[in-house]
Amino acid sequence: MQSEDSAKEFKTLKGFINNEEEDEEIYFSFMASLRIYGDDIPFDEISQRLGVRPTSSHRKGEPHRLGSIHTFENDSWHFEAPLPESEPLERHIEALWLVVKPEVEYLKSLKNRLDVDVFCGYRSNCDHAGFEVSHTVLELFTALEIPFGVSVIIA
């Protein structure tokens, strides 16, 4: 005879492990960010060439946050696609491509002395879902000669 708990059905692996389902709405969150980091980044030049201000930036040695003893190890210039996180990943990549495409050669030249990449993120509370991106949006990665990768966080 099965106990009441062993007969339970779960919608998620997390629910099974915790032996209870959380009653929260499932969400899917995406983002994409152009990142440039290294030493002596020409912040103003990059912003001028791309026609956008960085979403975030910092200089080597600055504290991570006010009062922190931890400091950044390098300069960093980030531009995150200005879309809601609810938009699909390919829309975020398309938004970055609009900014990057006219200045691909400039960004590739920066790779001689700086690190240039695109950080893509996917976050959800659903542990049995996925996403896809159209092959057409991968042109950004090919043009910049960088890998396509996605950070996945299941909360």
Structure confidence by residue, pLDDT tens digits, 82-134: 999 999 999 999 999 999 999 999 999 999 999 999 999 999 988 888 899 99
Residue type, 24: E
DSSP 15: H
What range defines the domain where residue 77 resides? 5-154
The highest-confidence range among 8-17, 20-29, 113-122, by mean pLDDT, is 113-122
Has residue 1 got a pLDDT over 50? no
| pTM of the predicted model as reported, rounded to 2 decimal places | 0.83
Q: 115-124 and 28-38: which strand pairing?
A: antiparallel
Rg for the chain, CA atoms, rounded: 20
Q: How many domains does the chain have?
A: 1
